[in-house]
Amino acid sequence: MTSTALETTPDRNTITGQNAITAQNALTAQHLINGQWLGEADTQRMNPARPEELAAVSPSGTAGDVDAAITAAKVAQPGWAALPAPSRGAILIAAGNLLIERQATIAEDLVREEGKTLAEAKGEVKRAADVLRFFGSLGWAATGEVLPSGLPDTTITTRREPLGVIGLITPWNFPIAIPAWKTAPALISGNTVVIKPAELTPLSATHLARALQDAGLPAGVFNVVHGKGRVVGDALARDPRIAGMSFTGSTNVGLGLQEILNARRARVQLEMGGKNGVLVLDDADPRKAAQVVAAGAFGLTGQACTATSRVYVTPGIRPAFLEALTEEAAAYTTGDGLDGNARMGAVVSKQQFEQDQAAVRTAVERGATLLHGSYDGDPSGALFFPAAVLTDLPMDDAAVTEEIFGPVVAVLEVADYEAGLEAINDSRYGLTAGICTDSLALATDFAARAQAGVIKVNRPTAGLDLNVPFGGVKDSSTNTFREQGRSALDFYTWGKTVYTGV
């Protein structure tokens, strides 16, 4: 069956009751299997900023849907790999251009289903487009080497070969950017893909699929199966035809997937949790440091694995920094992401909202001081959570050690640089870490000794250029293959050495 996965209507205002059923076509995501849009939508996604508004509907995939998608991908893979890399790249570039043309519509859908602000959503759509175009351009880049041989009349070359069929599991917090930055290097390398998008954000992944299809991607090369992780994700991980899987999500789920894939020696890439720390030293400008921390902690509603969630300050700057950070937190006003006045959108789900509430409430019950914020709910039921600044916590408090994934930051005092560096490294996670200082010597030392995959000096921990490697250490990553940039190609390919005699 072929049908249109996304249609537009002149009005996407509040849709409830029977109207929610009759208006679903405007908001429907479907499976994409072998070029066909399939599946009866049975799961409703409501707008976290407007609890009565339907944001999307999607089908619940089965193991049978996964099997069909993998079968299609397996059949399509040899032909896709045989297509010259510049031709594969041209399709990715065309898809990126289509995302830019459709940016306004996609961004509004993203806001409604995920909750972030429209400016953040537009930036994310552009990021997805840029990622597709970046990897598309690599279709013209060399992927091997010519090496000298110790044998006479012999040439040695190296080649990179695609793995085959790739499984992708992506999260809700960057629902089009992360699918794009996993899909693009997989496809340009000659692999085919089966992706399970996050259940909370099915429309964003559907927009990506539509752009790829409309750009001319052959049927079966990119397949989408919506549904629950314990059904769709598990079936993907256990299928022996999946040569590699790239996952972004919680540490517990990621480590479970790693066990499944390692058992059959399939390649696995994990990007998991973070508890990212920033060290603020006495020589830093307190206002600038507060702006850096606030951007990392409260931007994107704190719902980023790279968000700042713990800050260590030395005694001399502590009073001025806390005053400045409290003022910055107050400037992150919450509201509907489609309202241009809102600086921070809604929390993605009631479950996440309650997790944020519990983190702040229990910290206060344990004796923490809440300098800004509240853990009360909005009377309307909208999932708006104000920026929270906690202080006066012990180093081992749960708010300091456990990932919250919301706009909550804990500020603790340390005696000096060495104590601060030790505190930064005293974590099970190691994704990003930052320092605010005017000392080049200390910034350089921090970059060398901080135990994190990405180091930021006088910059927010959140955010990364698309052309640089991204990944962490400890429980934040498998610490084997990096995402983004040319380094991303390593995960999706295997190396071959070729001797040629004359």
DSSP secondary structure of 387-411: -EEEES--TT-HHHHS---SSEEEE
Residue 305 annotated as catalytic = yes
The token pair at 492 is 């999706």
Q: In what order do the strands lie in the sheet with 493-501?
A: 146-147, 154-162, 493-501
Q: What distance in Å separates the CA atoms of residue 221 and residue 80, rounded to the nearest whole number?
A: 7
* 8 A C-beta contact, residue 205 and residue 232: no
CA 343, chain centre distance (Å): 20
H helix runs in 33-117, sequence order: 63-82, 85-101, 103-114
**Largest CA-CA distance found in the chain, in angstroms, rounded:** 81
Please give the structure tokens belonging to residue 121: 């959503």
CA distance 197 to 223: 11
Cα–Cα distance measured from residue 17 to residue 20, given in angstroms and rounded to the nearest whole number: 5
Those residues with Cβ within 8 angstroms of residue 130's Cβ, 6 or more apart along the chain or in another chain: 96, 466
Cα-only R_g, the chain: 23
**Six-digit token string for 453:** 């995959």
**CA 422 remoteness from chain centre:** 28
- Write down the catalytic residue from 125, 305, 342, 423: 305
Residues noted as catalytic: 305
